Chain A
Amino acid sequence: MKITKIHKIAFTFLIVIGLGACVNDLDVTPIDPNLATADKVLNSEEAFQQVLAKVYAGFAVSGQEGPAGDPDLVGFDEGHSQYWRGYFVCQQLPTDETVNGWADGDLPDVSQVNWGANNGFIRQFYYRAIYQVSIANEFIRQANSLGKPEYTNLPQYIAEARFLRALSYWHALDLFGNGVPFVTENSAIGAVLPMPAGDSPRGPELFDFIESELLAIVGDGEDQSQVLLDAGQSYGGQANKAAAWMVLSKLYLNHAVYRGVADNNYYTKARNYLNKVTSAGYSLITDADAVAGDVYDPYEYLFLADNYKADNEIIYSINFNGDETQTYGGLTYVVAASIGGDAMKPNDYGMANGWGGNRTTKALVKKFTTEDKRALWFTEGQQLEIEQQDQFTHGYAVTKFKNRTRNGGFGTNEGKSDWVDINVPVFRLADAYLMAAEVDLRLDGAVSAGSLAFLQEIVNRAGVSLPGTIDLDWILDERARELYWECHRRTDLVRFGKFTKGYNWPLKGDNLEGKDVDDKYNLMPIPFSDITANPNLKQNPDY
């Protein structure tokens, strides 16, 4: 009897200990040293700065490990899902400036302007752009709830997050139209179905939001509590007012496409903000910036490993560093994919490898005169005529971006890896100059003396001269010459009404010479996957 009593007590004891202690185990917090909940991590201004850095880094890297691993977006090849690589695919591949030859899924369709609503590569950029909006929202949301008065720089950080959100929204508006999902810091996270910004793919809603956001953070809105730094006061790669003015100007210049109706007031507004940009103290990189030992042309300085020094022309950049910001996307992609064939040596461009993918078409090459210093092609072993999309040697290779420094040295990778230092020149002064001239033409039918002087600076640097009359067609071509491979081309062609019809180039419409395509291609499709996931969304016309 005694024994059984002891056993009884022991078992009861065991049960009580076991059950009581262990059910509480189910409440866990991360034990991973790199993982924490918001309240535990966002307890200093520095922590907010690090989250803001992620919103910036979301444009540069594809995940938390670099060059790959722990990706931000899943379900894709991680390198392809990087922001600038996706934007390059959407803005460059369907144009006369670029042809890609990889047999990657439905990537060839993008170069052929022959995509459907399931296209995986268009889908990747769509999700990346909206992802950026989401993490900017999260930053603003947490700053509003966990920020403290003593974090004195927080309002400026919020303004930067609002800039980055507006930038991505502008990209989304430009590519996918006014019907993209609309979320702000006031939206819930989780089981919600975001509403589209507007009912119609061309309409005012998203445009107005982006405009009001940008006006607020440049100090032109009613609430001036969250304002960006002035031009000249920010770091390279940090958003300042001039960067926001550029987005505003782009928005206004393309308003007729985005809103579906032209309204000269917007061109006037564009002129207003372009004026601010051109008088903010920026200047073109010229021979004056050269020092002894520099081996490249000043125009090329803008696209080199040390192009952080070109800050007098580059207004806003997405920054890369071979050691600290590694990705298979970004300018690593742009440079590596532009190297191929038997004759090109990756090391000449500061790389260890060439990925042999992107070339250009004769349509771009023929816009240049032989003396134009901006025509940066590699032609040995390359044929101008494209007969096969998947042969790198068909079409000229483009050597505009190089991971070398002005004096011919290597970047931080020492030429021994593919991780580049080149910053993406998202906005630069030459673009603003060309926009100013275009606005003149659209408002007044002629280029003003001031804008003409700007154009003169551009052609002078290129080593060519201005034509007798400057018209919109010349502007479009000059934009190609000056800005090719900088991700402006599709937007420009759409604005000029030449993307789908009236102007053709090799492979357009899956045709070697190029042919007209359906007007639906002026807008990219909202990915099928999101139409399905979110019944509030409406597909763009004819997809």
Chain B
Amino acid sequence: MKRQSNLFKLLFILVALFSFSAIQAQQLTVTGSVTDATDGMSLPGVTVAVKGTTTGTITTPDGVYTLNVESGQTLVYSFIGYKSQEVVATTSTINIALEEDVIGMEEVVVIGYGTSKKKDLTGSIQTVSADDFNQGAIASPQQLINGKVAGVQITDGGGAPGDKSTIRIRGGSSLTANNDPLIIIDGVPIDNGDVSGMRNPLNVVNPNDIETFTVLKDASATAIYGSRASNGVILITTKKGTSSGMKIDYAGNVSVASKANEIDVLSADKYREVLAEKFPDNVGLMGDANTNWQEEIYRQAVSTDHSLAMSGMITDNLPYRASVGYNLSNGILDESSMERTTASLNINPSLLDDHLRINISAKGMFINNNFSNQDAVGGAISMDPTQVIRGDAYEPYGGYFAWVRPDGSPNGNAPDNPRAVIDQRMDKSKVNRFVGNAQFDYKFHFLPELRANLNIGLDMLEGKDDGGKHTLAGAAWDTDAYLRGGAYENYTQKKENKLLDFYLQYTKNLAQIDSRFDVMAGYSWQHFWAENTSGAWFNLPNEDGEYIRTPENLNRNENYLVSFFGRLNYIFKDKYYLTFTLRNDGSSRFSEENRNGIFPSVALAWNMKEESFLADGEVLSTLKMKLGYGVTGQQDIGSDYGYFGTYKSGQPTAQYVYYNNVTGSYDRVNFTTIRPNGYDENLKWEETTTYNIGFDYGFLNDRLSGTLDVYLRETEDLLNQIPVPAGANLTNELITNVGSLENKGFEFSLNAIAIQNNDFTWNIGANIAYNENEITKLTRVDDPNYIGVITGGISGGTGNNIQIHQVGKPASSFFTYKQVYDTDGKPIEGLYEDVNGDGVVNESDLYVGEQSAPKVMLGLNTNLTYKNWDFSMSGRANLGQYVYNNMASSRGFYNNMQVSGEYLNNISSDVFNTGFNSAQYLSDYYVQNASFFRMDNITLGYNLSSLLNNNMKMRVYTSVNNAFVITDYDGIDPEVNGGIDNNVYPRPRTFLLGVNVNF
């Protein structure tokens, strides 16, 4: 009985308890907050509804809500752009973190001084993330996105390992000032200037460490960077630690590169035949060999790249990622190589209950370059193919064939034995660079909507020769060094750039008026410092016991940039967006009056898809319109002290000497000189005003999506190196603000998911960019007769130029004589059109012809995956670009075969097309259409996903870079930076085998 009663008691209590709770359920009051799962920000206006009823509420501006429900009812949290979430109400506090929903819009994009949700963007910004990077043999970061972003032209300087690329965003906005975009790595604007001993300043980052490239194209996106933003901004972020576990990634590859093409010159046999016909008197100068010099200097080059990264979490709040990379890139020009070791560390601790987030990032790079001697490229084309490479007779010249004068001294004018220039010069360098920063982001305890962000950064480097740049004894190709037992050269460059940024950001939701806004205001201080030293010496002394070739020279430069900036974002109803930014830059490169520049921008965006008239459409899934206006500047004018008068001391080799004949001793009385330099006290920024209208669109749940942008960019106060009125200054030309130019065009991109199912996906990406560049003003005084600024120096002769900046024409248009052709279409030597009709043909008949920059650029890429296989291709086309074939113009004429009977040159086979006897450097015959399509990359990969109990993933792949080029251009490669094809290190074709392992 007792037991029963106990059991009963227990049941009673249970029932009672249950009943009590059931009674409570009738009156449950749930409170909580709704936040964004990505950034933890409060979400106002979120609908909290009781499922199956009409009961509900919305969150307050602070993102909190209170709702009376019955226990056990289901609460539905829904908010536009977020995934709805359902929770059964059982407790009185329910905090919810909503995740963003819309396809393609979930990304958080890095913008200037902060981040933004992609859907909130108002400017023309494009991000390429690691998944979409180009594949294959990638030694330098910019190769990762070549062809991926509409309106971004990336031209590498040639095929040298890790070669420098020229990046142009929407065409250049300057003539003489820098046209390179501002590049910011993890919040540190890096010095993108040339680095001694390094081909490419961007090589500081291991491409494998890069997470995203974000390209800011229009001024509403870039104006926050003010005076450095005119040419666009590229933000690079590196990979950071993940939030759980420990991951190890390894990527490695081995590649083989070989020359894709040869420059068409005469073979030894053909050369013998032509020389005998044209210059029978000089056949005695020929040798008996058959040498293909181009074969002798190029090689098959094997390169490897390894990168190992470890990432994860130490304790609960210290994510980290550490990586090391090793890249050995061997160039196809014999001996050229780059050996790079990189190390990077990112740690992102989060302290004080997530109120203080810290990002510490450090990147180190250690490069050993071997430059080989690129003169060999030209030498291999000019060298007489009938000569031997080496021979006993050439003992004094290290055994290498050399053209010599009757007394045995090397002929300094003759072509240099390309094998000798490589073998008899050591040109190695060592470069160390460090880029690091610490970023503190603090969310105020008493006011969580307010954040303070402090960023301190440092970019320092040292580039120097590695053991001296040596010309060995016997080198006939360096006549001065030959006579003095060889020579060497030392150089060192040091740079140190410091950064301090600080900003406050306040974010607020005002649900009452369906608005969100954030305001940011900040301050930035930067100091740039550089020092260069160089000097050259001979190995043997002269009679006075001196070794000096070039006296040691030291120069030092610095400049400061002090800025204030701010941004206001306002979002109304999640449909209408406004962004306003303002930057005030002060640069030490300008006088007090001109020092400060104000750079405003404003942008509006309209998320049209959210409007009722489009919201229900099934086909259209995204439509957003963006309007932007902004002013940006350019202060990188090449001179740090251009606005005030300076006096410059001369070198010991530029002294003035008197002879003391008063005493009759004739002793030398020498003076080092001091020169007053020219200056422009009114120097100021260039200002570029950009207007942009853009659309983001998506169809069929964004399976078809893309962007369209139309822009106009007007640069005023264009810095131009122009002739100053003679006598008005202490030089003949000055960089000064005189002109204006205009770029206009459009960019269109399309991404399509053609097929997507469990086994098979097929994506296609395409982009097209059209840009028109026109110089609208060049001089202070309008003069219709002013021809413009001659530019574009070529090889051949001295001081020959082939391009011009002229008002009404694109920058660097070709400026040549109009070739007259005979009835067979063959150019008639020396006969040019009398363009101005004055009866004589002289330099007044030069005319402005085609432009060198491409008018249209296309990027195409596609990838397919089928089960474990993946396949991708990417290619690019440039249309409407012209190149001056300097290789042919400086070598394609018969008289060049022999020079005054002293020595022989090989000539370009183009001579058979022209029949030219003498050089016709300024003929437009050599300006050739260089439109092309290049298949940059083809890759095939296979994924092994279920290794080691699914704990390890592995991908093996093979790729070919520079697979083929389709073009009508006659030269070796139509892709020539600046439009003058001359002595370019040829781009190799590279086959690669690689593996990525993650576990």
Contact = CB atoms under 8 A, between A and B. Distances in A.
Interface in B652-666: 652-662, 666
A308 B661 CA distance: 8
A41 B732 CA distance: 23
A9 interface: no
Interface string A428-464: 0000000000000000000000000000000000000
Given A28-B560, A103-B797, A134-B730, A23 B586 contact: yes
Interface stretch (B21-29, B426-434, B893-901): B893-901
Given A14-B502, A103-B921, A237-B658, A49 B671 contact: yes
B595, B641, B653, B786: residue with the most chain A Cβ atoms closer than 10 Å: B653
Contacts of B786: 528-529, 532
B52 interface: no
B500 interface: yes
Contacts of B658: 235-238, 319
B76 interface: no
Indicate the size class of the contact surface on chain A. 35 or more
Interface string A457-477: 000000000000000000000
Interface string B460-495: 000000000000000000011001100000000000
A65 B523 contact: no
Contact of B799 (A41, A76, A347): A76
A139 B786 CA distance: 33
Given A28-B558, A50-B671, A109-B842, A15 B523 contact: yes
Interface stretch (B10-18, B266-274, B438-446, B688-696): B438-446
Contacts of A534: 725-726, 728
A63 interface: yes
Nearest to B587: A26
A226 interface: no
A3 B445 contact: yes
Interface in B319-348: none
A56 B359 CA distance: 59
Contacts of A181: 725-728
B701 interface: no
B900 A340 contact: yes
Decide if the interface of chain B is mainly helix, strand, loop or mixed: loop
B699 interface: no
A340 B895 CA distance: 15
A107 B668 CA distance: 36
Contacts of A53: 655-656, 671-674
Contact of A530 (B406, B726, B797): B726
B673 A235 contact: no
A235 B661 contact: yes
Dominant secondary structure of chain A at its interface with chain B? loop
A324 B668 contact: yes
A469 B443 CA distance: 105
B843 A118 contact: yes
Interface stretch (B511-519, B618-626, B675-683, B820-828): B675-683
B646 A37 contact: yes
Interface in B337-363: 352
Contacts of B554: 32-34
Interface stretch (A183-191, A206-214, A217-225, A272-280): A183-191
Interface in A75-111: 75-77, 79-80, 102-107, 109
Given A61-B654, A80-B798, A189 B728 contact: yes
Nearest to A526: B726
Interface stretch (B65-73, B202-210, B212-220, B407-415): B407-415
Interface string A311-330: 10000000111011110000
A510 B550 CA distance: 42
A194 B654 contact: no
A352 B649 contact: no
Given A190-B680, A235-B669, A104 B800 contact: yes
B982 interface: no
B901 to A, nearest CB: 4
Contacts of B722: 533
A66 B654 CA distance: 5
B557 interface: yes
Contacts of A340: 900, 902
A535 B671 contact: no
Interface stretch (B287-295, B777-785, B945-953): B777-785
A352 B673 contact: no
A172 to B, nearest CB: 9
A235 B662 contact: yes
Given A66-B653, A79-B798, A130-B727, A35 B732 contact: no
A36 B656 contact: no
Interface string B700-726: 000000000000000000000111111
A23 B82 CA distance: 45
Given A32-B556, A324-B655, A325-B656, A65 B409 contact: no
Given A116-B844, A130-B727, A187-B727, A236 B666 contact: yes
Q: Give the 9 A-B residue pairs with the shortest CB-CB distance, closest first.
A: A66-B654, A77-B799, A66-B653, A235-B658, A534-B725, A53-B671, A236-B659, A416-B483, A54-B673
13 contacts: A33-B555, A34-B648, A38-B645, A64-B675, A74-B733, A80-B798, A106-B843, A116-B844, A131-B732, A194-B728, A342-B900, A510-B840, A534-B725
Interface of A: 1, 3-4, 7, 11, 14-15, 18-19, 22-23, 25-28, 30-38, 41-42, 47, 49-51, 53-54, 56-57, 60-61, 63-67, 69-70, 72-77, 79-80, 102-107, 109, 114-120, 126-127, 130-131, 133-135, 138-139, 142, 180-183, 187, 189-194, 232-238, 308-309, 311, 319-321, 323-326, 340-343, 345-347, 352-356, 381, 388, 390-393, 412, 414, 416-417, 423, 510, 527-535, 537
Given A33-B555, A51-B676, A416-B480, 7 more contacts: A19-B523, A23-B562, A53-B674, A235-B662, A311-B661, A345-B407, A347-B409
